[in-house]
């Protein structure tokens, strides 16, 4: 898998209502279920690769320090889009 493949899947989940609804039916931490949905949609990645990206997303979704808040104006700091934050919400470690 490339990281881009997973990011593309996240974008598609947000654009495709039926796919989005399938993901929403998953239980928390159901990597196999998410991988099955992704595979059906033409995307391929392993559970380890998924968890690595989800950990990266969660690490960037932490609260900002006062210094970071001073540097941000009206937005969220980080490299991940809302689709990846949506997917990450299903995974807790």
Q: Can you give the residue ranges of every domain in the chain? A: 3-88
| Close Cβ partners of 72 (under 8 Å, ≥ 6 residues apart) | 64
Say yes or no to pLDDT of 93 above 50.
Answer: no
Q: Look-up: residue for tokens 């881009």?
A: 4
Residues 4-36 have pLDDT tens digits of 788 889 889 989 999 999 999 998 888 899 999
Q: Cβ(15)–Cβ(82) under 8 Å? A: no
Q: Cβ(11)–Cβ(81) under 8 Å? A: yes
**pLDDT value of position 41:** 95
Say yes or no to pLDDT of 83 above 90.
Answer: no
Confidence category of residue 54, pLDDT binned at 50, 70, 90: confident
Phi, psi of 56 (to 5 degrees): -60, -45
Q: Look-up: residue for tokens 């059906």?
A: 40
């Amino acid at each position: 898998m490339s990281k881009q493949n997973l990011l593309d899947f996240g974008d598609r989940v947000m654009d495709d209502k039926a796919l989005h609804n399938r993901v929403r039916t998953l239980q928390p931490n159901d990597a196999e279920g998410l991988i099955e949905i992704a595979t059906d949609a033409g995307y391929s990645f392993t559970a380890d690769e998924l968890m690595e990206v989800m950990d990266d997303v969660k690490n960037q979704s932490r609260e900002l320090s006062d210094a970071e808040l001073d540097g941000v104006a009206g937005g969220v700091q980080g490299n991940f889009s809302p689709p990846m934050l949506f997917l990450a919400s299903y995974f807790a470690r």
